[in-house]
Structure 1
Amino acid sequence: MHSPVRHTPTHAPQHTSQHTPRRSPRRLRRLAPVALLAAGLGAVVLTGPAPAAPTADPQRAAATVGAFGKGQPSGVVVRRGPSREVGMRFSPKTDGKAVGVRYYKAQAWKAATPRSATLWSRKGKKLARTSIAPVQGTGWQSVKFSSKVKLSKGNVYVVSVHTRGKGIHAATPGGFAKGHSNAQLRVPGDRNGWTSVSDRPTYPGSEARGDTNYWVDVRFKPSSAQDPTPTPTPTPTPAGGWPGPDNTGVPAGTTLAPYTGPCTITSARTISGADVLSKCQDALVIQTTGVVIEKSLVPGVWSIYGDGDSSVTISDSDVRAGAVSTAGIWGYNIKATRVDVTGGQHSFQCNNNCEVTDSWLHDQHNPDGGSFHNNAFISNGGHTMVVRHNTLHCTSILNSTDGGCSGDLSLFGDFDPIDDVTVDNNLFRANNSSISYCLYGGASSSKPYEATNVRVTNNVFERGANRKCGVYGPVTSFDRNAAGNQWSGNVWDSGEAVNP
């Protein structure tokens, strides 16, 4: 069994090489090409009848999660033929309940709506089924089962839909060449994608050709989201109201237009309601001041020009950084509000002058065989940062090459002192299998620079399965005696005070 990612002096070189906050534009041109994040987070424009107004994204259903992202899946083709059942295998990482099914509808016609959705055991026993009423439009759709189905951690289940007479369904050949995973669900790659030709709902018992993903997903409610550990006193902090799928990212009902601007921005502009990811899959590089991004789907956003000669404001947007060794949002002079950030080694990496509020930072990239040290928010040295009312969740699991999470929020004095940082009213999500501590406060004897004026106030730390947030505890390397440092009002999700 591998130990969690630790931050001793022997790890310092890895922080230095992997978390370097500054790269010149010339250095950026030498970065390896960036692959898209696992299918489900990319976007393509589908041809065919014009879609009806988008429906509310089913991932935004309170306290439910799925295996795939909220945007249009990548590489989707529309298939027709005889009626058939199409679906996939999946396995929960925690106990919970299946609430229903979500599926991607690739054609606007009502006739392209599946007939039914079914949850199966691995051996083909029907666990739940619901009929699906015909709907107009394209995009992710969701249906509920009449009653929730209890699912057990580690067991394998199959979720599928049955197509109507025309057999119309979405498919991405090669979509399961690799598996997909987040904090709650694991979807195996290789020989996933299951189908059967049938005039009526039936267990999809045949492997799809070419690792095809049919974009059928489960709506899963983890037990921790519905069955909090009872404590008589103090009263647990309510889970509602924290940033998540309901209140971050592109607002439901927004129609995104293709982006026609440059991927390296050298003059001030506003990008609104745009699908930037389809064009700029590597990153949107900001090399000027006064850039505004709103209600858009974007790749990584990097404001790293010079030593602070660029700035960007981003709000109500999905950032899909993909499989990069840098951060989803990275650099100088950044203001981010209500953003949903996935992918990248880190969700948000700040040099100087950053503010992130009301946002959801989660599901970082850590490839098998890699040794990334992930973070939801990180600074390797800098000043003037505000991290307020966010859900911070480093989700990577420790792998065989010691890749995994550093923390939900990490301040490391690698290249400059840490100074003037406000960390207020955030939810620190637990990761008991990878994070050593959920918060690193900047005072480490293995780092050359100190941390001052760090104010950590009114935050909530999720206990998780081991009741400690991280493997060893909620916080480390916070010096209460350093100039201007403050620690107050921080509590567990069960209400008790958290002390550094």
Structure 2
Amino acid sequence: MTVVVINRDEAPVAAPKSTPVAAEVTLESSLWKSQKVVKGKTQSEKTPLELGTRFTASRNGEVAGVRFYKPASERGTHRGSLWDSDKKLLAHVTFTGETRSGWQEALFSSPVPIVAGRVYTVSYHTGNGGYVAQRGAFAKPVSVGPLTAEEGVFSATEKAAFPSRRHRARINYYVDVIFRHRERRSLPDPTNGPEGGSAPSPSVVPTVSTGPETSLTPTPTAPGQPSGGVEVTPTPTESTAPSPTPTRTTTHTPTPKPPTETPTAKPSPTTPKPSLTLDPTRQPTVAPTSQPTAPGGSWPNGSNTGVPSGVKLTQSKSITVTKDGTVIDGMEVQGEINVDADNVTIRNTRLAAAPGDWGIIQRQGRSGLTVENSEVFGNGKQRTQFGILNQGGDLTVRRVDIHTISNGILTEQGLIEDSYIHDPVYYSGDHTDMIMCTSGPPSGAKLVIRGNTVINTLDQTGAIALFQDFGVVRNVTVEANFLAGGGYALYGGAGAKGTSSNIKVVNNVFSRKVWAKGGQNGPVAYWDKGGSGNEWKGNVWDDGKAVPEGG
């Protein structure tokens, strides 16, 4: 790992200007939100049906699975399918673990590649012929992100078969697709350190392991043709699970609708926090975007973190681990990974985190979790509170790409290195931090945050935040990271509970590329200059000028 140390008494040397670059991130799209409830009376044709949706995608990608909305009266087994324009079956899956009603979802054994612009059909088979529907929904195509739904289709068939017919009322049968694609975005490039020196390279080379309510409005139909059932108006009923985020005194003024939120994991802290007022009219010096990529593998970015190319992933829903020493390798998980065991390893895994409190959690009393060469992300529509939440002991996070969440990692101890943690999504009431510690590590333990790219594209709270919510912060090293954004890029550990100690902030690069001051208000806040063992050394701006102690 190459680091650049600059004596604060020496004249700084300007570095070459970096230029915007592009990087990729995994995004997931569907046509209808899974949190929307389709209310209304249901219709049953009392004959087996295949119900589907014709769609196209504006970019190449993969279909990971199929969703459909199930009325409460519907029973029996359902099979989901994907078809091409030649009526060829590309994939099928039998739904398991269905709820009594609402959106049901099933993932294919392997994602199916599809080509931009081509017409595909996603469908499900019902033996009872029960469904809900919306008349006139496809009077014109429905577009959401890269997806465009053209029409609802059906067939009367005893077994799963291509749905080739359409209703003249342009009905939506609420069949949906789970589409994933890699999207490139333009970002600031944090490639160069002072004097053009290289930023830290990953310390370990990745190793791929195998291993409402409505009334019926029937219309005349042909035999076996769905009547259109009920006209329905989806009604959002989104809720947010209790958040374990400690309450702080930050004031927010963005406009998103506030979900209900009650901190439960820990008592509300009494330590005062800086009161920040967000200014929605103020913009960063560059537009906040995703994934800053550095050519040449310098700083961690979208090309040298996450799942290595060539790794074949196996589809899975949420995973709970209860056996010590378990290894999760080469998985594509939709939901969460709940670790209630010691010395668990998660590698080469992509986690599309479900809305809720976390993507990955290590439970209290457990220790030794390692997450490496993996990607954790939310859907950007409903809050995922934490990418990784550590309630237990030692944690190692290495070469992990975490994005599109409220908070990246919360841990009091362990090692976070060579990772790319960036692009949070704001929801009303949030305090957004990419890496957060809320007290010092337990006696004999430490927290090392080293060689990461940490970018908070919002104006609160921090990129790295060491808070005294539950105790005095001690024994933390923040070394050789690229830091940008938030209210302050770094909260340094000071607070009302006592003087922090043994906090070492060395050889970091603070960037002005999101906010002109590093963070909206400055590079650093809450730094104890006189704390025993506290060290501030070699910290510079991305133009090579020194960042004074405590900012």
Please state which band the TM-score falls in when normalised by the shorter chain. 0.5 to 0.7
Which residue of 532, 536, 545 maps to 1:483? 532
Distance in 1, matches of 2:329 and 2:117, equals 37
Which of 325, 328, 342 does residue 271 from structure 1 map onto?
Answer: 328
**1-structure distance, mates of 2:478, 2:339:** 27
Do the aligned partners of 2:420 and 2:452 also contact (CA within 8 Å) in 1?
yes
Instruction: Note the C-alpha offset of 1:366.
Output: 3.1
CA distance in 2, matches of 1:224, 1:171: 42
Query: What is the distance in 1 between the residues matched to 2:314 and 2:175?
Result: 30
Query: Counterparts of 1:428 and 1:303 in 2: how far apart (Å)?
Result: 26
Q: Is the aligned partner of 1:438 residue 2:489?
A: yes
1:498 is paired with a residue whose SS is: coil
Quick one: which amino acid aligns to residue 473 of structure 1? Answer: G
Judging changes above 3 Å, is the alpha-carbon distance between structure 1 residues 354 and 372 closer, same or farther for their aligned structure 2 residues?
Answer: same
Task: Give the counterpart letter for 2:461 in structure 1.
Answer: S
What letter matches 1:342 in structure 2? H
- AA partner of residue 438 (structure 2): N
Question: Contact 2:370–2:397 (CA<8 Å) still a contact in 1?
Answer: yes
Give the whole-Å Cα distance in 2 for the aligned partners of 1:258 and 1:218: 17
Q: Does the CA-based 8 Å contact 2:363-2:390 persist in structure 1?
A: yes
Match of 2:421 in 1: 361
CA deviation profile, 1:323-375 (whole Å, cap 9, x unmatched): 33345242321011111123543211112x310111111233432xx211011
CA RMSD of aligned residues (A): 4.5
| C-alpha separation in 2, matches of 1:291 and 1:191 | 37
CA contact 2:28–2:179 (8 Å) conserved in 1: no
SS in 2 for 1:325: strand
Closer, same or farther in 2 for the Cα pair 1:468/1:316, shift >3 Å? same
Is 2:396 aligned against 1:335? yes
Partners in 2 of 1:248 and 1:169 — Cα distance? 34
Alignment check: 8 A CA contact 2:30 2:178 kept: no
Higher Rg = 2
Q: Hey, what's the Cα distance between the residues in 2 that align with 1:406 and 1:339?
A: 21
Partner of 1:200: none
Provide the residue aligned with 1:248 in structure 2.
Answer: 305
User: Relative to 1, partners in 2 of residues 1:452 and 1:342: Cα closer, same or farther, differing over 3 Å?
Assistant: same
Q: Which residue, 442, 465, 471 being the options, matches 1:410?
A: 465
Provide closer, same or farther for how the CA distance between residues 483 and 169 of structure 1 changes in structure 2, counting only shifts above 3 A: farther
Report the Cα offset of residue 438 of structure 1. Answer: 0.5
Residue 483 of structure 1 and its aligned partner are, at CA, apart by 0.5
Hey, what does 1:6 align to over in structure 2? none
- Alignment equivalent of 1:257, drawn from 292, 301, 314: 314
Quote the offset at 1:190 in angstroms.
Answer: 7.1
Partner of 1:374: 432
Partners of 2:178 and 2:318 in 1: how far apart? 32
Superposed displacement of residue 219, structure 1: 5.0
- Asked if residue 389 in structure 1 is aligned to residue 451 in structure 2, the reply is yes
Identity percentage of aligned residues: 23
Structure 2 letter corresponding to 1:411: L
- Aligned-partner Cα distance in 1 for 2:29–2:390: 25
Distance 1:462 1:79, change over 3 A: farther
Indicate the residue corresponding to 2:511 in structure 1. 462
Letter of the 1:249 partner, please give it. Answer: G
Distance 2:195 2:506 in 1: 19
Return closer, same or farther for 1:437/1:220 CA change in 2, 3 Å cut-off. same
Q: Give the conservation status (yes or no) of the 8 Å contact 1:271–1:296.
A: yes
Change (3 A) 1:471 1:489: same
- Aligned residue in 2 for 1:284: 338
1:208-247 map, 5 Å: 220-222=184-186, 224-225=188-189, 235=196, 239-240=294-295, 241-247=298-304
* 1:272 positional shift: 1.7
Q: Equivalents in 2 of 1:262, 1:290: separation in Å?
A: 16
Distance 1:386 1:110, change over 3 A: farther
Gapped runs of 5+ residues in structure 1?
1-61, 88-100, 113-136, 143-160, 173-187, 198-206, 399-404
Change in CA separation of 1:189 and 1:415 when aligned onto 2, cut-off 3 Å: farther
Residues 118-177 of structure 1 show CA distances to partners (whole Å, capped at 9, x for unaligned) of: xxxxxxxxxxxxxxxxxxx966789xxxxxxxxxxxxxxxxxx422xxx237899xxxxx
Distance verdict in 2 for CA 1:283–1:271, change over 3 Å = closer
Using the size of structure 1 for normalisation, the TM-score is 0.55
C-alpha distance in structure 1 between counterparts of 2:545 and 2:529, whole Å:
19
The AA in structure 2 aligned to 1:420 is N
Please state how far the C-alpha of 1:65 moved relative to its aligned partner: 3.9
Shift of residue 311 of structure 1? Answer: 2.5
Select the residue among 353, 358, 364 that pairs with 1:305: 364
Larger helix percent: 1
Q: What are the superposed Cα offsets for residues 439-490 of structure 1, whole Å, 9 maximum, x if unpaired?
A: 010113xx32432111111111111254212112111111222110111111
Query: Secondary structure of the equivalent of 2:424?
Result: coil
Using the TM superposition, give the Cα deviation of residue 282 of structure 1 relative to its aligned residue in structure 2, in angstroms: 3.9
How far apart are 1:437 and its partner, in Å? 0.8
Distance 1:490 1:416 in 2: 26
Cα distance in 2 for partners of 1:301, 1:274 equals 13
Instruction: Report whether the alignment pairs 1:64 with 2:22.
Output: yes
Q: 1:348 aligns with which of 409, 412, 418?
A: 409
Matched, 1:498 2:532: no
Residues 1:428 and 1:85: Cα distance change in structure 2 (over 3 Å): same
Cα pair 2:463 2:483 within 8 Å, conserved = yes
Contact 1:421 1:453 in 2 (8 A): yes
Q: Tell me the distance in 2 between the aligned counterparts of 1:365 and 1:224.
A: 18
1:317 matches 2:377 = no
Q: Does the C-alpha gap of structure 1 residues 289 and 452 become closer, same or farther in structure 2, counting only changes over 3 Å?
A: same
Q: Residues 419 and 223 (structure 1 numbering): CA distance in 2 closer, same or farther, change over 3 Å?
A: closer
CA distance in 2 between counterparts of 1:315 and 1:225 reads 23
Gaps of 5+ in 2: 1-19, 35-50, 65-81, 88-109, 125-141, 152-169, 200-293, 354-358
Deviations 1:160-199 (A, max 9, x none): x422xxx237899xxxxxxxxxxxxxxx9979854779xx
**Distance in 2, Cα, partners of 1:326 & 1:216:** 21
Alignment deviations for residues 408-457 of structure 1 (CA, whole Å, 9 cap, x no partner)? 0000111111111111111113x3xxx2210010113xx32432111111
Paired with 1:319 and 1:492, the residues of 2 have a C-alpha distance of: 29
Are 1:162 and 2:117 counterparts?
Answer: yes
| Equivalent pair of 1:441/1:477 in contact (CA under 8 Å) | yes
* Alpha-carbon shift at residue 85 of structure 1 (Å): 6.4
Secondary structure of 1:455's match?
strand
Alpha-carbon distance in structure 2 between the residues aligned to 1:337 and 1:215: 28
Residues 437 and 470, structure 1, Cα contact 8 Å, conserved in 2:
yes
TM score, norm. by length of structure 2:
0.50
CA contact (8 A) 1:235 1:494 kept: no
SS at match of 1:478: coil
Give the corresponding residue for 2:207: none
Conserved? CA contact 1:195–1:208, under 8 Å: no
SS in 1 for 2:26: coil
